[in-house]
Amino acid sequence: MSLESMLIVAAIIFCIGLYGALARRNFIAVLMSIELMFNAVNLTLVAMGRWLVPFAVQEQLSTVLTGQVFAVFIITVAAAEIALGLGIVFAVYRTNESVDLTDAATMRH
Partner 1 sequence: MWFEDAVFWILAVVAIAGSVGVVLVRDLFRASLLLSLVFIAVGGFFILMNAEFLAVVQVLIYVGAIAVLFIFAVMLTRDVQRGNTPNRLQVPAAFIATLLLVMMVATVVTTDWTTLAGAGLENKSRVAQIQAVGIPDAARLTAAGLTADEVTDVQTGGLADLLIGEFVLPFEAVSLLLLAAAIGGLALARGRGR
CB of 106 to partner 1, least distance (A): 16
CB of 82 to partner 1, least distance (A): 5
Q: What is the secondary structure of 30-95 as a DSSP string? A: HHHHHHHHHHHHHHHHHHHHHH---GGGTTSGGGGGHHHHHHHHHHHHHHHHHHHHHHHHHHHHHH
**Cα separation, 45 vs 81, whole angstroms:** 19
CB of 24 to partner 1, least distance (A): 6
